[in-house]
């Protein structure tokens, strides 16, 4: 494995340390000003990502500094160690707008792909599937998309962000017979995680979320368990559905609208088609409105056969931006 990107500019590359996070944040601010991506960073989230169990930033990340010592590029791989098949590595990175078109991004991405392969080989077990190198990008960012395509990543999936204004009268929460809709509470967390893994088991690209990642995500600064809802079997109190909500204030600020965000919604297979998701979304809207927010948002796989898109449209959600998932799948031997 090569230790640094072969960039033609000769930047000085080092793994990201905690002390670099403010400078990485400044770089991201400069990038976001020009690119106007749907998803923005926050300093708090950078810190949390840095602390995550899988992070290993000493091996999975780099910042590139110019001769003056200014951070002008970064690359950060996020491998999911609990994945079985495929073994996913999410690629994040960026080059300062003033330093683009000089081969930095291309060299950095090559390093990230190579680093992903290295992680894959180092962690390989008999029952593991292929390596999947994955990146998400706004549909409108054509230079970044070209970069991925040149590196052999293909556009596989399109995710629509959808939003609904909460200004008017909110729909009633119509609770289906035999079900109770209750506020999310820590005591349901593990049962909700299991319901989530069951609800998503058949969905394209989904893999079980393990308890560590689940709890980390619920502890994120953006998580809003207090605006989240659980559907219980009225008889046994078993968890049958859930809506886990968040607040991405930096994204809302960029869009100029305060929005509550439904991160995860699912209903266990045996309980579908009776209005449970409908009720969970209506309850979420009420939580957002009570918190003084102006809109409710969520993201949906545009090609999902689950009928989710139709359900959201019926409730009044409208599509806004689109994110494209790029990926490259590789079969690599342990000693390859
Ligand atoms: C998508 C998903 C959450 C929907 O859950 P659900 O509880 O079956 O959804 P609902 O019952 O509220 O709505 C589904 C359909 O049943 C209808 N329905 C049936 N009885 C209803 C009732 N009493 N009240 C309201 N709607 C009812 C809805 O109108 C809707 O019809 P449509 O398909 O024509 O739009 C569920 O299929 C799921 O968990 N899928 C896997 C995970 C997933 O895709 N999550 C979304 C990711 S973006």
Measured CA distances, 46 to 25, 41, 42, 217, 239 (Å): 8, 7, 6, 13, 32
Burial class (CB in 10 A: 0-12, 13-18, 19+), 92: middle
SS3 139: coil
pTM of the entire structure?
A: 0.90
CA distance 218 to 190: 11
Name the residue with the closest Cα to ligand 1, atom 31.
Answer: 311
Mutate-to-test residue for ligand 1 from 181, 278, 312, highest number of ligand atoms within 8 A of CB: 278
Characterize 264-297 residue by residue with b for buried, 16 or more Cβ atoms within 10 angstroms of its Cβ, and e for exposed.
bbbbbeebbeebbbbbbbbbbbbbbbeeebbbbb
Per-residue pLDDT band for 252 (boundaries 50, 70, 90) equals confident
Span 72-131, pLDDT tens digits: 999 999 999 999 999 999 999 999 999 999 999 999 999 999 999 999 999 999 999 999
Q: Where are the beta strands (DSSP E) in the chain?
A: 12-14, 61-65, 71-79, 87-95, 131-138, 154-165, 179-183, 229-233, 239-246, 259-267, 295-301, 318-330
pLDDT digits (tens, 9 = 90+) for 212-242: 999 999 999 999 999 999 999 999 999 999 9
Fold of 161-323: Aminopeptidase (3.40.630)
Instruction: Give residue 139 CA to ligand 1 midpoint distance, Å.
Output: 27
| CB of residue 200 inside a 6 A radius of ligand 1 | yes
Counting ligand 1 atoms within 8 A of each CB, the residue from 300, 306, 310, 311 with the most, and so the one to mutate, is 311
**pLDDT for 336 beyond 60:** no
Instruction: Give nearest CA residue, ligand 1 atom 32.
Output: 311
Contact 72, 107 (CB under 8 A): no
Q: How many other C-beta atoms can be found within 10 angstroms of the C-beta atom of residue 147?
A: 20
Q: Where in the chain is the domain with CATH 3.40.630.30?
A: 12-152, 161-323
pLDDT at 335: 57
Give the pLDDT score at 2.
Answer: 52
Q: How many CA atoms lie within 13 A of 26 on its CB side?
A: 8
User: What's the residue count for the chain?
Assistant: 336
Summary mean pLDDT of the chain? 95
Q: Scan for tokens 């905690």, then name that residue.
A: 18
| CB atoms near residue 64 (< 10 Å) | 28
| The pLDDT value given to residue 324 | 97
How far apart are the two ends of the chain, measured CA to CA in Å? 11
- For a pLDDT cut of 90, what percent of the chain falls above it? 88
274 lines ligand 1 (CB under 6 A): yes
* pLDDT at residue 120 in the model: 97
Ligand 1 centroid to 185 CA: how many Å?
Answer: 23
Comparing 5-19, 180-194, 249-263, the range with the smallest average pLDDT is 249-263
pLDDT at 92: 97
At 253 the pLDDT is: 84
pLDDT at 334 over 70: no
DSSP state of 20: G
Q: Is ligand 1 within 6 A of the CB of residue 313?
A: no
Distance 279 CA to ligand 1 centre (A): 10
- The tens digit of pLDDT for each residue in 123-180 reads 999 999 999 999 999 999 999 999 999 999 999 999 999 999 998 889 888 999 999 9
The 10s digit of each residue's pLDDT in 296-307 is 999 999 888 888
From the list 38, 317, 303, the residue with the least C-alpha distance to 159 is: 303
Question: 12-152: what fold?
Answer: Aminopeptidase (3.40.630)
Q: Tell whether the model's pLDDT for residue 1 goes beyond 60.
A: no
């Amino acid at each position: 494995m090569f230790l640094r990107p072969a960039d033609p500019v000769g930047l000085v590359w080092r793994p990201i340390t905690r002390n670099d996070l403010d400078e990485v944040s400044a770089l991201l601010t400069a990038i976001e000003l020009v690119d106007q991506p749907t998803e923005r960073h926050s300093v708090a989230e950078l810190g949390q990502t840095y602390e995550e169990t899988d992070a290993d930033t000493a091996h999975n990340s780099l910042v590139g500094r110019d001769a003056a010592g200014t951070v002008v590029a970064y690359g950060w791989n996020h491998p999911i160690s609990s994945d079985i098949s495929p073994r996913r590595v999410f690629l994040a990175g960026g080059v300062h707008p003033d330093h683009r078109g000089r081969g930095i991004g291309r060299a950095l991405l090559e390093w990230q792909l190579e680093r992903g392969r290295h992680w894959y080989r180092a962690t390989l077990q008999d029952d593991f599937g292929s390596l999947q190198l994955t990146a998400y990008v706004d549909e409108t960012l054509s230079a970044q998309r070209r970069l991925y395509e040149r590196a052999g990543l293909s556009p596989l999936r399109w995710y629509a962000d959808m939003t609904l204004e909460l200004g008017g009268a909110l729909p009633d929460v119509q609770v289906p017979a035999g079900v109770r809709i209750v506020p999310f509470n820590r005591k349901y967390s593990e049962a909700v995680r299991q319901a989530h893994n069951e609800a998503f088991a058949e969905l394209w690209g989904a893999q079980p979320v393990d308890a560590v990642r689940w709890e980390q995500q619920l502890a994120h600064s953006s998580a809003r368990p207090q605006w989240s809802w659980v559907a219980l079997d009225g008889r046994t109190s078993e968890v049958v559905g859930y809506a886990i909500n968040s607040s991405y204030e930096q994204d809302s600020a960029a869009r100029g609208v305060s929005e509550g965000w439904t991160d995860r919604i699912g209903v266990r297979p045996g309980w579908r088609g009776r209005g449970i998701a409908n009720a969970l979304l209506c309850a979420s809207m009420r939580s957002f409105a009570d918190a003084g927010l102006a809109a409710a948002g969520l993201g949906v796989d545009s090609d999902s056969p689950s009928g989710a898109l139709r359900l959201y449209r019926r409730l009044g959600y409208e599509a806004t931006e689109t994110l494209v998932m790029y990926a490259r799948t590789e079969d690599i031997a342990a000693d390859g």
